[in-house]
């Protein structure tokens, strides 16, 4: 039963995180002039429209990854108008960054909850930190469940934030350059990003660089969360 409850906690946080990420993309696109995601019902914090759009990434893959590794990962997506993105490339870049910004908000929310929990003597600094044990409960029961939830919220959203900001296609970070390129260079770059082969190669490279990159950022984040403990 503990294992089932743990899986439910992971899945609840994953679905909330993916939904908020995609809803942020959709909301930003609608505000910036592309109503495609809005018309598809994606500007919502209700996870069902997002699950219906990506059932494999939001249901099947999380279950398989948990069974294989003991933690969950997955993905979702948001529709957009490619012609709008070509015409308004800087707006499209901002729309791309809205998703990782949503994950950053969740990371900061977890940090706030952990700091409040420690100051209220609900949580304490753990001797050993893992993805689902970023903070430790001062007592069992509800406090322990909350400690696990905020730990997963912190770790999972930091993973999604860092991975999606890697500047390789098809990840959100690949569009950051569009904020700085000239119109002619941006058009060539967008054509490069749309090539299926380049997107596949980008994903392969991103997986290779993610582990060392995340290790550094994760350690940095922990030392900011718990100043003076010098995690390494």
Residue-wise pLDDT for 65-110, tens only, equals 999 988 899 999 999 999 999 999 999 999 999 999 999 999 999 9
3 Cβ contact partners less than 8 Å away, ≥ 6 residues apart: none
Report CA dihedral (177, 179, 181, 182) to the nearest 10 degrees.
160
Do the domain assignments include residue 198?
yes
Query: How far is Cα 226 from Cα 194, in angstroms, rounded to an integer?
Result: 42
- Predicted confidence at residue 17, as pLDDT, reads 98
At residue 205 the predicted structure's pLDDT band, cuts being 50, 70 and 90, is very high
Do the domain assignments include residue 230?
no
Residue 48 sits at the vertex; the CA angle it makes with 94 and 102, to the nearest 5 degrees, is: 30
Do the domain assignments include residue 145?
yes
Coil vs helix vs strand at 92? helix
pLDDT at 232 over 80: no
At residue 149 the predicted structure's pLDDT band, cuts being 50, 70 and 90, is very high
Mean pLDDT of all residues belonging to the chain? 94
pLDDT at 1 over 60: no
Do the domain assignments include residue 216?
yes
Query: How far is Cα 136 from Cα 126, in angstroms, rounded to an integer?
Result: 5
pLDDT at 141 over 90: no
Do the domain assignments include residue 231?
no
- Predicted confidence at residue 2, as pLDDT, reads 81
- Please give the residue range of the domain that contains residue 27: 2-225
Are 206 and 171 contacting, i.e. CB atoms less than 8 angstroms apart? yes
**What total number of domains does the chain contain?**
1
Do the domain assignments include residue 90?
yes
Mean pLDDT of 118-146: 92
Active site residues: 22
- Predicted confidence at residue 66, as pLDDT, reads 94
- Predicted confidence at residue 81, as pLDDT, reads 96
Do the domain assignments include residue 232?
no
Residue 115 sits at the vertex; the CA angle it makes with 110 and 120, to the nearest 5 degrees, is: 125
For 227, the token pair is 């100043």
Rounded to the nearest 10 degrees, what angle do helices 89-119 and 142-164 cross at?
150
Confirm whether pTM is higher than 0.85: yes
């Amino acid at each position: 039963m503990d294992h089932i409850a743990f899986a439910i906690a992971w899945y609840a946080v994953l679905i909330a995180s993916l939904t908020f990420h995609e809803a942020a993309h959709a909301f930003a696109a609608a505000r910036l002039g592309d109503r495609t995601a809005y018309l598809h019902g994606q500007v919502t914090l209700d996870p069902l429209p997002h699950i219906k759009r990506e059932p494999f990434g939001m249901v099947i893959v999380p279950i398989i990854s948990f069974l294989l590794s003991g933690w969950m990962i997955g993905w979702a997506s948001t529709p957009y108008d490619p012609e709008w993105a070509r015409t308004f490339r800087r707006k499209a870049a901002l729309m791309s960054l809205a998703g990782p910004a949503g994950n950053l908000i969740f990371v900061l929310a977890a940090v706030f909850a952990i700091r409040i929990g420690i100051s209220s003597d609900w949580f304490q600094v753990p001797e050993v930190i893992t993805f689902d044990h970023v903070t430790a409960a001062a007592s069992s029961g509800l406090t322990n469940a909350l400690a696990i939830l905020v730990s997963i919220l912190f770790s999972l959203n930091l993973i999604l934030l860092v991975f999606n900001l890697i500047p390789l296609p098809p990840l959100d970070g690949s569009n950051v350059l569009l904020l700085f390129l000239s119109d002619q260079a941006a058009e060539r770059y967008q054509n490069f990003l749309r090539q299926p082969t380049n997107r596949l190669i980008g994903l392969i490279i991103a997986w290779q660089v993610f582990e060392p990159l995340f290790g550094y950022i994760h350690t940095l984040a922990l030392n900011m969360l718990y100043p003076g403990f010098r995690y390494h």
